[in-house]
Amino acid sequence: MSRVERLKNGTIDTPMPAASDLEVDGNDIAASEGLDELENEIVMQLEKEFGGKDDAAKAESALPKSAPAEATPEAAVNAAMSDFDTSSRQLEMRRKREMASAMEEQIHDGARIFGGLAKQAATLSDYLEKMEAEMKRLERIEASSTKLRIASEGLIRNNHEMKATIEEQRKKVALLESKVASLRDANEAARTNLARLAEEKRIMGVDLDAAKSEIARLENDKRAATERSERSEEEVRELKTNLTMAKDREKVMAIEMRKLEDDLSRRNAEIEELRDRKTQFEIEIEELKSRNATVETTIVEQRSRIEELTFELKSSRKEMEEVIRLKQQRILELEARNRELGAARQEFDEAMTPSIALGDDDDSALAPSPAKPRAKPATKPASKTGAKSAPKSASRQGTRSQSRSTGKQPVKAG
């Protein structure tokens, strides 16, 4: 079935939206007027087609009838033909009327179809307007789609670039994973080194405790030495008041006392140096603690800092060993000095006891008591600075021998 037949039958379905009531009424009026005009035109055409034959028939019927002619066969044939013509005309008129009625029905059907078409045309116009709007929207969508296509092409290029960068990043990640594995191994080694450093730190703490105890012992020795020096000063004062004849001896003793004071000041300076070193060691221990804390957080600087710590620990250990050795050497020197002072004091007491016992008048007549041999200082332990300490001990022994000789001369003179 064609579209025209479906339009005639009114069975065509359109998905277009329906128009409003006012638009439908206006379209019906326009369709009815158009149908009236079409019907008038069709009637005029039918009249033009069939009007000529009707006029000819009317003209023939309107002609005046002639007198009855003679009955001839030709007249009978003509009459029969005229009857046949009239019957054929009547049949043709009937057929035309039937055709006209059929055409009227078709016209009415066409009017109905035209009304439906008008309605559909209205709906089509609305639909076309909507389609124009839709086309504009589609054009905008197409423009946006072109933009999106361009953007998608850019995204595709970016995607390829991102894939390339992702591959590079994967390679970098693989390298980083290998580096992380190596750093983990280094971290394990650093942890073992940290454990070793902690053990060394504990040992250094023990050494520091020993050094503190040594410093305390040295301070006690210093106090004892100061007490001894004070007692020796008191004895010297008593000897100055009681022994006016022993000025040279007193000068020697004053020189020795100055030397002792120099030694004491030097010892005080050494003790201050030891205290400074102690504070420096404590500062270094705090630095080591901070470095140990930073070593746990910063893996990158572990090796260099561990090497610095080991170098500082070795240097501090060497310094501590050197300090301890120097302390031991000083202690031995102090003990030797104390022995020498005790021997000198004993000799001085033995030399001065006859003068005190016999009085001031008999001091000049008395012979000097033989001087006892002084106790030799204890042998010093062999050390790296033995060559340096040997000249010092030699010079000290020379000064002591000079003091002994000068100390004996006034007694002989008296």
- What is the Cα–Cα distance from 207 to 284, expressed in whole angstroms? 14
Q: If pLDDT is split at 50, 70 and 90, which confidence band does 249 have?
A: low
Considering only residues 42 and 287, tell me which one the structure prediction assigns the higher pLDDT: 287
CB-count exposure of residue 288 (10 Å: 0-12, 13-18, 19+): buried
Q: What tokens does 297 get?
A: 């957080």
What pLDDT score was predicted for residue 299? 67
The answer to whether residue 302 scores a pLDDT higher than 80 is no
The answer to whether residue 357 scores a pLDDT higher than 70 is no
Lowest-confidence pick of 41-55, 82-96, 157-171, 338-352: 41-55
Sign of CA dihedral 209, 212, 217, 220: negative
Q: What tokens does 179 get?
A: 């580096």
pLDDT digits (tens, 9 = 90+) for 369-379: 444 444 444 44
Mean pLDDT over residues 385-406, rounded? 47
- What is the Cα–Cα distance from 294 to 288, expressed in whole angstroms? 10
Unique residue bearing structure tokens 């009227």: 104
Mean pLDDT over residues 243-256, rounded? 70
What pLDDT score was predicted for residue 217? 86
CB-count exposure of residue 1 (10 Å: 0-12, 13-18, 19+): exposed
- What is the Cα–Cα distance from 49 to 151, expressed in whole angstroms? 71
Mean pLDDT over residues 226-243, rounded? 78
Give kind and range of the element (H or E) at residue 113. Answer: helix 73-242
Q: If pLDDT is split at 50, 70 and 90, which confidence band does 384 have?
A: very low
395 φ, ψ (degrees, to nearest 5) = -65, -40
Q: If pLDDT is split at 50, 70 and 90, which confidence band does 121 have?
A: confident
What pLDDT score was predicted for residue 414? 31
Q: If pLDDT is split at 50, 70 and 90, which confidence band does 80 have?
A: low
Average pLDDT, the chain: 71
What would the DSSP string read from start to end of 310-378?
HHHHHHHHHHHHHHHHHHHHHHHHHHHHHHHHHHHHHHHHHHHHHHHHH-STTTTTSPPPPPPPPPPPP
The answer to whether residue 408 scores a pLDDT higher than 80 is no
The answer to whether residue 120 scores a pLDDT higher than 60 is yes
Mean pLDDT over residues 147-171, rounded? 86
- What is the Cα–Cα distance from 320 to 407, expressed in whole angstroms? 41
The answer to whether residue 352 scores a pLDDT higher than 50 is yes
This prediction has a pTM of 0.21
What pLDDT score was predicted for residue 222? 84
Lowest-confidence pick of 55-59, 189-193, 237-241: 55-59
The answer to whether residue 389 scores a pLDDT higher than 70 is no
CB 323, CB 277: distance < 8 Å: yes
CB 127, CB 17: distance < 8 Å: yes
What pLDDT score was predicted for residue 1? 45
CB 248, CB 410: distance < 8 Å: yes
- % of residues, the chain, pLDDT over 90: 0
Considering only residues 218 and 107, tell me which one the structure prediction assigns the higher pLDDT: 218
Question: Three-state SS across 229-292?
Answer: HHHHHHHHHHHHHHCCCCHHHHHHHHHHHHHHHHHHHHHHHHHHHHHHHHHHHHHHHHHHHHHH
Mean pLDDT over residues 334-344, rounded? 87
Considering only residues 123 and 6, tell me which one the structure prediction assigns the higher pLDDT: 123
What pLDDT score was predicted for residue 62? 47
What would the DSSP string read from start to end of 7-69?
HHHT-----SPPPPHHHHHHHHHHHHHHHHHHHHHHHHHHHHHHHHHHHHHHHHHHSPPPPP-
Q: Kindly calculate the radius of gyration of the chain based on its CA atoms and give it in whole angstroms.
A: 73
What pLDDT score was predicted for residue 65? 45
Considering only residues 383 and 49, tell me which one the structure prediction assigns the higher pLDDT: 49
Q: If pLDDT is split at 50, 70 and 90, which confidence band does 47 have?
A: low
What pLDDT score was predicted for residue 180? 87
CB 247, CB 299: distance < 8 Å: no
Unique residue bearing structure tokens 């329906």: 18
Q: What tokens does 326 get?
A: 């120097």
Mean pLDDT over residues 36-63, rounded? 60
What pLDDT score was predicted for residue 46? 65
What pLDDT score was predicted for residue 36? 67
What type of residue is 211?
Answer: A
The answer to whether residue 381 scores a pLDDT higher than 50 is no
